[in-house]
Amino acid sequence: MADLGKRYRRAFAAAAASGDGPLVFPFLTAGFPTPEETPELVRAAIRGGAGGFEIGVPFSDPIADGPAHQDAYTVALAAGASLDTALEAVRTAREAAPEVPITLMGYLNPFLSVGCSTDDETEQPGEAVGEPMEALARRAAEAGADGLIVVDLPVDESDAAREVLARHGLAMIYLLAPTSTEERIAAVAERASGFIYLVSLTGVTGARDQVAADFEAFVGRVRAQTDTPLAVGFGISRREHVEQVGTLVPAAIIGSALTTTIASAPPDGRAEAVERYLEVVTGRRSE
């Protein structure tokens, strides 16, 4: 079996050794605002200092996402974006930054539907019935992904998918929230590889003015059960947020604020806006 999570481990170790603060993982919706622009936005994020990536697969019913991402998914789908758009974004990121960890993030139905496709000429016999995730895992690994987040797949129903991903060298990245029970934290800790995604607050994605006051206690509860690296997302939008959570965890995930930055930029200035925004939140540039 392939070495799961090796790029994640290397990235976290390098960040710790450098002393430059936490890694920043930008989340980009594949196909937003258009599929044609996505590769350049990926390259711009790398130039801006992305320490890793989350590439979002557009979906019509993103139940964990707030207005910014819901709108981005709607625009992307209307423009013809699909899983193929997301996989192309993964390829772009892998070519531009060979050692950056890349996570494909999405919801279960689109992922399962890959194994049911009749258009994929490379599909192997039995994939659609025996292993619904097999086709997705193969294609994601070939594109250069390191792991998957399946937002709406509970940990206690994830073992079959996790084993399929592992056969292709992909880590299953789990989410935990402040409302997670000790039993749920233990279940994730037992299965985790790559990193664990900590949702900093209750509710959907979206930029907030400040990090939740009880976040430190939440980190302590998780850290008591695992030494897997932790990353925090949901509500992280400013350099001071990154600095604040960076005293507790080695990575910060920025999604809605970056999506809003793209949406508000002029069409000919979106890549520049992405690069500049990430330079600010990573500390490379002052505002």
- What are the residue numbers of the active site? 54, 65
Main-chain phi, psi angles of 150, to 5 degrees: -110, 100
Q: Residue 75 contacts by C-beta under 8 Å, 6 or more apart in sequence?
A: 31, 32, 33
CA atoms within 13 A on the CB side of 229: 24
Maximal CA-CA distance, the chain:
55
Sign of CA dihedral 258, 264, 270, 272: negative
Asked if 212 and 200 count as a contact pair (C-beta separation under 8 A), the reply is yes
Residue 60: DSSP 8-state: S
Residue 252: DSSP 8-state: E
